């Protein structure tokens, strides 16, 4: 799942070398924190959060396939 988020974010970002994804366990779920360059935050979030919401949906589907719960935070 981490690789999925990283791949999508690097494809969108102007500075793919600044994309960093960290993974933590919290309250029985996996929390992914996506860090991108300041210039790329708008691209990753998208208009009215549509891109971020789409990434979260894909993450949720991947998590269900693995039998876990996952959350994405964009930092």
Q: Which residues pair with 72 in a beta bridge?
A: 32
pLDDT tens-digit profile of 60-75?
999 999 999 999 999 8
Within 10 angstroms of residue 40's Cβ, the number of other Cβ atoms is: 19
pTM: 0.89
Number of domains in the chain: 1
Q: Specify whether the CB–CB gap between 74 and 22 falls below 8 A.
A: no
> What CATH number is attached to the domain comprising 26?
3.30.300.20
| pLDDT above 70 coverage of the chain, percent | 100
Domain that holds residue 13: 2-74
């Amino acid at each position: 799942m981490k690789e999925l988020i990283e791949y999508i974010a690097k494809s969108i970002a102007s500075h793919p070398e600044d994309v960093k994804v960290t993974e933590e366990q919290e309250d029985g779920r996996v929390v992914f924190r996506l860090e991108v360059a300041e210039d790329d935050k708008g691209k990753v979030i998208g208009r009215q959060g549509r891109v971020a919401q789409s990434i979260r949906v894909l993450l949720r589907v991947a998590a269900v396939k693995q039998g876990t719960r996952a959350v994405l935070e964009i930092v």
